[in-house]
Amino acid sequence: MASTKKFDIENLGTATFPSPLHLSKTKGDKVFNFVQDKDRLLYNISLSEFNRCVTENDEPLCLQKAGPREKLLFDPPKTTAAIVTCGGLCPGINNVIRSLVMGLYYFYGVKNILGIPYGYEGLIPSYGHKLKHLTPDVVKDIHEFGGTVLGSSRGGQSVSDMVDTLEDNQVDMLFAIGGDGTLKGANAIGEEIQKRGLKISVVGIPKTIDNDINLIDKSFGFETAFDMASPIIRDAHNEATGAYNGVSIVKLMGRDSGFIAACAAMSMPVVNFVLVPEMEFQLHGENGFLESLRDRLETKHHAVIVVAEGAGQHLFAEDGAETKDASGNVKHKDIGPFLKSEIGNYFKTMDKQVTIKYIDPSYIIRSAPANAGDSIFCSRLAHYAIHGAMAGKTKFVVGRLNNKFVYLPISEVTSRRKKIDLEGEFWFAVLESTGQPFLMG
């Protein structure tokens, strides 16, 4: 039996301050109601799980519903909030920053909001980065631009020193916007705060363009990423059809998970092959990728290939210990040029003419502003994060699961990365769109 405490959210203390939000506690009065901690949402919504719980008299796993609480732990006029952005760029970061500032300032009356420059480096005084004072006037237009106005960085910093800085600046709540490494760092900060007996709320807002955050439906920036990739794939298709036996290769983000490549291919259904990190395809041999590509060219005389950056790492020769970047992520070999070379060599041995075009738009996509859908999503994530922090919740992330906004412990979200299930209906939809073989090699 799974522990029903698995998704419990920690609280810093008893909330006693009345919320300044003029909400309701009565259903039917046409005013939004305060959310209570007892309001829970099912983790597994399948009928089979329901029947199992009934049969075994087991309490189902539930998650705390996100939203504004009637009582607050922090007195808004005396509250100091801080915002930090870490890791690689992703569409929507500025939207989240803007919505955090606007929500804190106008919903709750929190006027002291600090921007931490250049990621967790900004919490280490020796780097010399100065904290920024954020107001609505400072952030009002930043959503129109990609990137992050606070700057970002990778790599771990001294947790003790970071908490010292938070304590020295009398910070009551820290909003950490970032991916897996950032969230693990935020959790470590929360644990150090707990050891010191401080009351500082630590909130994670999951940012990863790859959509590989565990448990949640999607992360912000992901939708914009494959939206931006879609016209690029269209143009790659035009390049491929413009030459006899034309082959276009488009490399997209996706270090460990291939969601961007898969969704981009389905959104612009001219793609013939999608290669993702989750699949161990073979290049040569019967039913290998190159043979499937040859079959495609013999019948249609053009092909479009979308490959995620982390795909095909098993094809590279082992050359010693793996290297990692400052965030601890494994540095992958570059599959794009490798694939172009292998395709060229394969058809050269067959004395077959092919024209290969290779396109890598990754940094353009990463730096783009959020599209309309992501802009809405970013605002809602930020607002729900504020509500949880003001109520004194800590070491949690806000996310959407089963199309509902919930609070989840950072430790559960970072326990593993989300990956495409090759036996799931999502990947089957990709295969239906591309027409590629179920297995290659």
Pairing outcome for strands 273-275 and 302-308: parallel
Q: Is 180 annotated as a binding residue?
A: yes
Q: Is 69 annotated as a binding residue?
A: no
Distance of alpha carbon 148 from alpha carbon 221, whole angstroms = 13
Q: Is 363 annotated as a binding residue?
A: yes
Distance of alpha carbon 315 from alpha carbon 370, whole angstroms = 35
**Phi/psi of residue 415, nearest 5 degrees:** -70, -25
Q: Is 366 annotated as a binding residue?
A: yes
Q: Is 155 annotated as a binding residue?
A: yes
Q: Is 276 helix (H, G, I), strand (E, B) or coil?
A: coil
Q: Is 208 annotated as a binding residue?
A: yes
Q: Is 182 annotated as a binding residue?
A: yes
Q: Pick from 68, 79, 69, 71: which is nearest to 16 by CA?
A: 71
Q: Is 255 annotated as a binding residue?
A: yes
Q: Is 365 annotated as a binding residue?
A: yes
C-alpha torsion sign, points 69, 72, 76, 80: negative
Distance of alpha carbon 193 from alpha carbon 186, whole angstroms = 10
Q: Is 200 annotated as a binding residue?
A: no
The number of helices, as runs of H, and strands, as runs of E, in the chain is 13, 17
DSSP, residue by residue, 180-210 = HHHHHHHHHHHHHHHHHT---EEEEEEB-TT
Distance of alpha carbon 37 from alpha carbon 15, whole angstroms = 12
Q: Is 88 annotated as a binding residue?
A: yes
- Give the CA radius of gyration of the chain: 24
Q: What does the angle CA 250 – CA 374 – CA 210 come to, to the nearest 5 degrees?
A: 40
**Where in the sequence numbering do the catalytic residues fall?**
210
Annotated binding site: 88, 154-155, 179-182, 208-210, 253-255, 309, 363-366
Annotated binding site for substrate: 208-210, 253-255, 309, 363-366
Annotated binding site for Mg(2+): 180
